[in-house]
Amino acid sequence: MKLTIHHVAVSVSSRQIVSNIDLAVQPGEIVGLVGPNGSGKSTILRTVYRMLRPSAGFVQLGDDDVWQMSPRTSARQTAAVVQESTHDVAFTVAKMVQMGRTPHKGFFAGDTDHDWQVTTTALARVQMLDCANRPFNTLSGGEKQRVLIARALAQEPQLLVLDEPTNHLDIHYQLDILELVRSLGITTLVTVHDLNLAAAYCDRLYVLSAGTIVAEGTPEQVLTPHWLRDIFLVNAVIQRHPVTNRIQLALFPLSHRHEGG
Ligand SMILES: Nc1ncnc2c1ncn2[C@@H]1O[C@H](COP(=O)(O)OP(=O)(O)OP(=O)(O)O)[C@@H](O)[C@H]1O
């Protein structure tokens, strides 16, 4: 399902945090938001998963304005894995993931065999099935993150909104989770700090700076030495990954000299 953000602005306590945001994610596309700390990436995501109402503009999923739909309808379509909540709850891991099924169930309906099957499959996919009966709050940071991703999968969404999904994950799971996201074919809007992961897994990127979009395009088009210097304040040598053939950045501080450029 297509996501479109039209001329969105967000103000908090009468301060404008982001403005003039125009962004589209085509069905099945993985689009990354990249930008320095505080540039507004999470704020944009919050307008999509209905945490923060835009002060101007609108957000559309397919033909529908997400802020006009009921929270339940939105939750059936959009699953978010975000940083804001520590989720330090004593529910079991299985219960946490099963909660992803809630938007699909009647108000007093119990769990069907199908709900359990979806829950089990999601837990297996992130290799957390062995921990199904553990209290969630006893897991490590990376294990928690994988369970939250399983919960999003159990929601069977049309749109995935991921705020730093590789946070806390070791390198194996960083690649595993992003490969998983890519294999799902679900429309995905994701924030990524690691620009090499963004280059490897996103179809297109939007670069944010001080609350506005300053560049948009494929990783090759936007992760250029010019933008990396101007926006991220780092030098870069751009290479090709020998195995994936995606671009790969060798980054170094502005203060270092580089003989090739
Ligand atoms: N509720 C709020 N009240 C005041 N300021 C806020 C609020 N939420 C966000 N901001 C400010 O808005 C700006 C953008 O924040 P946001 O979290 O969207 O940035 P980000 O690009 O996701 O940053 P990071 O890379 O550090 O996670 C920051 O300066 C932040 O301090």
Per-residue pLDDT tens for 204-229? 999 999 999 999 999 999 999 999 99
Flag whether the pTM goes above 0.90.
yes
The pLDDT assigned to 84 comes to: 63
Cβ 157 under 6 angstroms from ligand 1: no
| 9 belongs to a structural domain | yes
Best of 17, 33, 193, 213 for a ligand 1 pocket test (most atoms within 8 Å of beta carbon): 17
Q: Can you read off the two tokens belonging to residue 15?
A: 């301060």
pLDDT computed for residue 51 by the predictor: 93
187 found inside a domain:
yes
Phi, psi at 63, each rounded to 5°: -100, 0
**How many structural domains is the chain composed of?**
1
Relative orientation angle of helices 113-125 and 141-154, to the nearest 10 degrees: 140
In the reported structure, the alpha carbon of residue 52 is separated from the centroid of ligand 1 by a whole-number distance in angstroms of 12
**pLDDT score for 202:** 97
Q: 235 lies in a domain?
A: yes
Q: What residues make up the domain containing 169?
A: 3-253
Nearest CA to ligand 1 atom 9: 43
| The pLDDT value given to residue 86 | 58
Residue 261 lies in a domain: no
Q: Is residue 258 part of a domain?
A: no
Q: Which residue CA neighbors atom 25 of ligand 1 most closely?
A: 37
259 found inside a domain: no
pLDDT of 260: 54
Q: Is the beta carbon of 47 within 6 A of some atom in ligand 1?
A: no
Residue 260 lies in a domain: no
State phi, psi for 98 to the nearest 5 degrees: -60, -30
Per-residue pLDDT at 259:
60
Ligand 1 geometric centre to CA of 109 (Å):
38
CATH number (domain holding residue 79): 3.40.50.300
Residue 40 lies in a domain: yes
Flag residues of the chain having pLDDT under 50.
none
Q: Is the complex ipTM more than 0.95?
A: yes
Whole-Å CA distances, 213 to 5, 7, 20, 48, 236: 12, 11, 8, 16, 21
Q: In angstroms, what is the span from residue 14 Cα to ligand 1's centroid?
A: 14
